[in-house]
A and B are shown apart, each in its own frame.
Chain A
């Protein structure tokens, strides 16, 4: 087993997500045109928590969508290493909305590129903003996060692991040794 160093414990994770929700509220300003879209699987959990925080702290009711990017990937050979393709659920019209895309880790940027293509096939949002829990650097495409929980410098040899209570029975972020 690779040695993993914990970057965020359960309290830190919750605090970072609250932080992200605050940043979103400040940047977007109002819930009127806003929509949260989480990228499966952990991005969805984070998006759900952000939605709940916005409801609790600001009384905002923001629609939540679930994006599965499997069919937009360009690496079908890794099918056997991927979890099952799950349905995408976007029950509202994206056209004219300010979409806040939520994912757990931003790395090369290719997943986000897939997500952008996919969102455009559903409609024409007014804007798309990106919110991530962890930005680990090493971008291969010109993609940036607008809202970030934690920034950390990593090397390609390292792995980042994000665990969330709803899926993995605990909250935390770990990084493997360089």
Chain B
């Protein structure tokens, strides 16, 4: 929990930020401020009128160059609950297929009055590139293998809500780490917040340089998840199997699947998390996905609250001349 003084200092930092590009450059206080603000937004979901007028008149554009229903819908819901107007820019039907560059696309959208551009792109750094060239606030919804900051934040929120703390918690991330922007964002957030992070997966999918980030590296699942407080499962991307990064889905399942039996190696109140979509029967069994340890559905709810918090906190950067409320 932040003190009022820490909160004010964090708010000053965020308000100067204007964009959400990654968690690597954020301070612990800023992350905690986002989480605390998200808690207030979560309360709104229990009302009949699940809307607040905070971003009334603002326009949020979802610019998704990669397919995503879950993240895009979550941002859309977050913006709408803040009373903003939302436009979804669907890559396949857009002028991008006619060869329009990223910058021109973004400039066109901005000329229509976008205040926020929520962007998902296959190239790492694309949101940063845009943030240097447009006036709107840019929110990174996943760029290449670089970061997926709102996923990192909502995962941290879920852990904090259930466990009440980060210090001393053992969090294990399982799976295709090398290709995962979710893993990277999680690692940044959790190490800054004081948790102990371990990663585990096939050798071909674990970058050895990651020990520099302060995480423990494992290749043996049973050893990695011993006494874990949180296990975060990454979706094994079946396309990778084509590039022979591991022998077969069956082998992955044998060595790295989380099932009820393996779960007993972790702490009795372990949390099972997954960014979705789940490959049932591959990285996780049906029983565990639907079982009492799983908080996968809550992650989805928390995602909307966290995205509302981010949009709200970045809004402060946009109107320095507005009149004060007394």
B324 and A75: CB pair below 8 A? yes
CA distance A117 to B49 in the complex (A): 12
Residue of A nearest to B41 (CB): A71
Residue of B nearest to A95 (CB): B48
How many positions in chain B have a CB within 8 Å of any CB in the partner chain? 37
Asked if B111 CB lies within 8 Å of chain A CBs, one says no
Residue of A nearest to B16 (CB): A80
Minimum C-beta distance from A103 to chain B (A): 11
A84 and B47: CB pair below 8 A? no
Asked if B312 CB lies within 8 Å of chain A CBs, one says yes
Q: Please indicate the chain A residues that have their CB under 8 angstroms from the CB of B39 in the complex.
A: 87
| Proximity bits, A137-178, B CB within 8 Å = 1, else 0 | 000100000000000000000000000000000000000000
Residue of B nearest to A78 (CB): B324
B53 and A122: CB pair below 8 A? no
Describe A's contact surface by its main secondary structure.
Answer: loop
Pick out which of these stretches binds chain A: B5-13, B176-184, B221-229, B261-269: B5-13
Report B251-280 residues with CB < 8 Å from chain A CB.
Answer: none
Most buried by B among A71, A77, A83: A71
Q: Please indicate the chain A residues that have their CB under 8 angstroms from the CB of B33 in the complex.
A: 84
CA distance A76 to B311 in the complex (A): 11
Report A61-81 residues with CB < 8 Å from chain B CB.
Answer: 68, 70-81
A80 and B8: CB pair below 8 A? yes
A77 and B319: CB pair below 8 A? yes
Report B279-326 residues with CB < 8 Å from chain A CB.
Answer: 312-313, 315-316, 318-326
Q: Please indicate the chain B residues that have their CB under 8 angstroms from the CB of A110 in the complex.
A: 325-326
Residue of B nearest to A71 (CB): B52
Asked if B25 CB lies within 8 Å of chain A CBs, one says no
Residue of B nearest to A108 (CB): B326
B322 and A80: CB pair below 8 A? no
How many positions in chain A have a CB within 8 Å of any CB in the partner chain? 33
The total of Cβ contacts below 8 Å across the A-B interface reads 94
Q: Which residue from A75, A87, A114 sits with its C-beta under 8 Å from B43?
A: A87
| Proximity bits, B105-117, A CB within 8 Å = 1, else 0 | 0000000000000
CA distance A81 to B47 in the complex (A): 28
CA distance A166 to B52 in the complex (A): 30
CA distance A164 to B15 in the complex (A): 30
Q: Please indicate the chain B residues that have their CB under 8 angstroms from the CB of A78 in the complex.
A: 316, 324-325
Asked if B37 CB lies within 8 Å of chain A CBs, one says yes
Q: Please indicate the chain B residues that have their CB under 8 angstroms from the CB of A107 in the complex.
A: 326
Asked if A15 CB lies within 8 Å of chain B CBs, one says no
CA distance A140 to B324 in the complex (A): 12
B316 and A80: CB pair below 8 A? yes
**Taking beta carbons and an 8 Å cutoff, which residues of B are in contact with A?**
2, 4, 7-8, 11-12, 15, 33, 36-37, 39-44, 47-49, 51-54, 82, 312-313, 315-316, 318-326
**Taking beta carbons and an 8 Å cutoff, which residues of A are in contact with B?**
68, 70-89, 107-111, 114, 117-118, 121-123, 140
- Apart from A71-B41, A76-B316, A80-B12, list 4 A-B contacts with CB within 8 A: A71-B40, A76-B54, A84-B11, A88-B43
